[in-house]
Structure 1
Amino acid sequence: MSTGTSNDYWAKRNLPSTFKHELLRVYLPVFMARLSSVSEVAYIDGFAGAGRYEDGSPGSAEMSIKFASDLAKSRGRKFHLHYREKDADSFEKLTSVLAENTHPNLVIDARRGDISIDLGGILENHRSHPLLAFLDPCGFGVPYELLVKTMNRDAYNKPTELLLNFSHEAFRRSAGAKEGQAAAAATHKRITDAVGGDWWKSLFKEHKEGDDFGEVIAREFAKRLVSDTKASVCIIPVKRSPTTKTIYSLVHVTRSGAAAFRMYDAVSRAHEKWWMTFESMEEPEDNYALFEAPRQFDMNEHIKNTKPQLKENIIHLLHEGKPFEVSAVAPSILGSNLGSIPDKAIRQALVELEKEGIITIEYRKKKVEYWQIQQTMHS
């Protein structure tokens, strides 16, 4: 999280940040380890902030450079790491944090500036490298046309992924600026640039009082990204409480079914971490909550309760008569549980179905997302 955040933001992680950083802690090592085994890898943190919280907790920038440094030291992997931050004080702190994790296999490009200006050059320099861009602004972020350009660089040849902070609050607050107000034209242009057109204006006029305009525009934004990039898009809502509107969505964009599967798993683990943190607080801050789950959340109990539905979903897929790879149909297996249960739940459901003689599993790789599933001949 970058420019625009209050000084208190960097004092310590709040609950939404706990969720976001746990998601990064789980997902980033998977992306970096898998793709760096075959190529040098590029990573962008476009709104890097100070890199570390005042209580010593790592921010996104410190997390990413440590993951890359560990892989460079232990496996000889090579990374190109790009960090941008507009705020002078935050940038000074950021450079100090990054300097603690240098290695010959890490090419570190940290600058005070606007990632929207530098993104084109970074993409050009990494046409032959897999790339993940984490864009976590306060308010509106990188223009839509640059997001599409990033995903469509040499389309389908090099793995490319985006993880975006899509601020519902920024859109709810700014879309209502009345025409004729001094700042309205500039504000509306920022929205138009952020979503790739003025289509949002008709949605704003049509939405009913009481509807969450932020969620309406996020859904349409995701649909347009899918259409313009031919990628899959996962929207991960973050709320202050189960009954309040979404603060922002984390939007993951990828063309890889295996990557999408790993993100679903990361979301579920971040969910669990969030509740563990919430339950450890004597006085939960602002009564934050991200998901509608019981106060004493037990992941093992949750898996036990949802496993029958997973097995039913798998059997339904088999009725279509074709074998499938788990990663290709994960959303259909997970159903309404997508993002709330980890990969081990699918693994357990599949193993149980095999023991029951209903399916046959071809274990091509250890990771469950690569398992090939088919119906047994006599079932």
Structure 2
Amino acid sequence: MDLQQRINAFVKLGEFLSQFTNEGIQKKDDIPHNELFFDGFSHQLQLAQEANGWFTKENVCFALQGWSNQLKENTINKWLSKYQFNNENLKTIAIIMAGNIPLVGFHDFLSVLISGQKVLVKQSSNDKHLLPFLAKYIEYVEPEFKGRISFTDEKLMDFDAIIATGSDNTARYFEYYFKDTPSIIRKNRNSVAILTGNETTDELKALSEDIFRYYGLGCRNVSKLFVPKAYDFQQFFEAMYHWNPIIHQNKYANNYDYNKAVYLMSEFEMLENGFLMIKEDDSFSSPIATVFYEYYTSTETLLETLDDKKDKIQCVVSNGILDEEIKFGHTQLPNLWDYADNVDTITFSLKIC
């Protein structure tokens, strides 16, 4: 199977996923093998929602639409243009996936297969319904993928390299257990936003998407704000307000009530608007329904802080402050070449040869 065959298969997958969006789930006439897969995948969406209360229809469809937008031939070709694909000996790369947001491990899955390797997947119990079904679709549109995709719930065996994502604690276990195996081990990371006080209402409204999408559970969600001294949070809270229906999601509301009670009993100072709390804290990882903030005195010292803590940060949202900043509202819309932790999984996969 050559590279173009692999690309074609994922392009067809993107076309299949285009039927599942927040504008509506609608069966199209021109999608290959729809008669076999559309109803089945619709059922998997329902199972995913029933198995994980955080996987609402809105968030699952948001993830599917994002992947559909990326799995276009011109986008994939742009992504792959800098690599040389000449591997002849197939290797097996195992992936231990997280389950915090829908299809969070799909990019690793895609990277391994598009580079021409075999993949062995160990899924999180929190996200186990969607990817196996999509893998079957890929095998159906490109039969040469059969035998290259495996899933397991057991101990990983017979692999040549591994990509593992987990907490800081599990990462220490991964680093020890896989110390003799080529690996990418990912730890906890969070995203931050730099505010100057000059942001427009539209920019702050866009920032709300970075904060609330997936209930803040992703490493690309903004969990920390850097603000100048004497920053007035009124405009910030006003821009967040259109997300107020989120408090009607039971799991989110339970976390909000619990964390608010903890802060009040501990006499921590915080501001809140009925569905979001903000608290001054130098940590990067904030609880659900909470965003931490920290004051900065100058851009220069802030940039030094960010550089010193770069191993804790996934994305930085700002406007005109950093060369590699993310625009407001775009953290959950990564391109194919936006690698987690800035570790190039294509290069890693190709080197295993």
Q: TM-score, normalised by structure 2?
A: 0.34
Question: Relative CO higher for 1 or 2, CA cutoff 8 Å, sep ≥ 6?
Answer: 2
Normalized per residue, which structure has more helix? 1
Q: Scaled by the length of structure 1, what TM-score is found?
A: 0.33
